[in-house]
Amino acid sequence: MKVKLHPFIYLMMFLFLCNCSSNSEDEFIPPATVQECTKTCDTGFTLNEETCECEEDPVEACNITCDAGYRVNDENCECEKIPDLTEGIKYGDNYIVFQPEITKSNLDQWKLRTQGTDGYYPEHADANIKDTDLPAIGNSYLEFTGNNLNGGTPTSPLKYTFVCPKTTKYRLVMRMLQPLESCTVGSNHCADNGYVKGDKRNDCWVKLEGDFTSGNHIADDELKKTKKFWGRGVRKWGSCHMIEAHNKAGSGVNAKALYNLKKGEVYTFTIAGRAQGCSIDYVMFYEESLETSLELTIENHTDIAVEFPEEYRPDTDK
Ligand SMILES: [Ca+2]
């Protein structure tokens, strides 16, 4: 049976429903009073409208990389040339190598030996160099002519300023020659083979200045002083590779010269003459771990020009 409701009933039902849906008057929360923020911020600051405070703009990171010899200027995010670096230094990713004659210092008692001139070693009567050996790189080297064949005080300092290409531990080595002459067996300093003893004319003085720490048991402050640096290259190109200094316990030791250097830092290296005749073809700081990755052995008589891949030799056109 169909029930027909009176229109009044419909009206009452409508009013009832409306009343239910609006029955939230007790819970009414008025909207927060929004006050307009009219603050003006200085340059470099931006208004935070929620807090109505000026907040410093974030600094955009400068992520550029500069070539060797240049550094980032943080103010304009551009590469700028580092002043006063010695020209002619070759930079690898993890090594620095140069010929000693690029110095701007007065050579003084260091003599530049060039191919075809007196005293140049492969042409010397007492040379021990085989045809298969490499001559001096660039056909030139420096020979110290002061003091005596055993040693002496630091003389004729040669300075080099370089920038570090990578933060890591570097070892110092030099390609070195001892131009030992023939002698009368039994005379002073003469070995049984008729040549001057192999521990003569084999060292110089070195010092590094800059922000670094020691990479081994040698004390930090010792590496910042002038120290004896020695090796072997008896009448052939070998290597200068050991430093004589004090360890952290205060004892005198011979050890690798290891320096923890920092990328972008500028360092000044000084070589001074010690033993007369000590001859230097080139100088290198290399990441010590290359000895493992390239399976290198750097010890007495190692010719570093042969032991390292060719790219580790200095540029010869400077
Ligand atoms: Ca050379």
Residue 178 CB contacts under 8 Å (≥ 6 apart), including other chains: 198, 200, 201, 202, 232, 233, 234, 235, 238, 277, 278, 279
Distance in Å, CA 19 to ligand 1 centroid: 102
* Residues 6+ away with beta carbon under 8 Å from 6: none
Residue 15 belongs to some domain of the structure: no
The string of pLDDT tens digits covering residues 167-194 is: 999 999 999 999 999 999 999 999 999 9
Angle at the Cα of 89 (from 85 to 94), degrees rounded to 5? Answer: 105
CA distance 244 to 238: 18
Nearest Cα residue to 318 out of 57, 86, 48, 8: 86
Cα 281 to ligand 1 centre (Å)? 4
Ligand 1 centroid, distance to 174 Cα (angstroms): 10
CB 116 within 8 A of CB 124: no
Query: Distance from the CA of 90 to the center of ligand 1, in angstroms?
Result: 13
The stretches in the chain having pLDDT less than 50 are 1, 18, 20-24, 318
Interval between CA 265 and ligand 1 midpoint (Å): 26
Nearest Cα to Cα of residue 92 among 71, 72, 68, 70: 68
How far does the centroid of ligand 1 lie from the alpha carbon of residue 250, in Å? 36
Per the domain annotation, does 45 fall within a domain?
A: no
Residue at 36 is within a domain: no
Is residue 63 in a domain? no
Q: How far apart are CA 138 and CA 313, in angstroms?
A: 10
Cα(236) to centroid(ligand 1), Å: 14
**Distance between Cα 137 and ligand 1 center (Å):** 4
Nearest to 276, CA basis, from 180, 136, 134, 162: 180
Whole-number Å distance between alpha carbons of 176 and 258: 18
Determine the structural domain holding residue 256 and report its residue range: 84-312
| CATH number reported for the structural domain that contains residue 186 in this entry | 2.60.120.260
Question: Does residue 67 form part of some domain?
Answer: no
Position 100 scores a pLDDT of: 98
pLDDT number for residue 206 = 98
Determine the pLDDT at residue 13: 55
22, two tokens = 């609006």
Is 130 inside any structural domain? yes
Specify the number of domains making up the chain.
1
Question: Cα angle at 188 between 184 and 190, to 5 degrees?
Answer: 50
Whether 123 maps to a domain, the answer reads: yes
pLDDT of 276 reads: 98
CA of 273 from ligand 1 middle (Å) equals 17
Q: What one-character DSSP code corresponds to residue 180?
A: P
Q: pLDDT at position 1, please?
A: 47
31, part of any domain? no
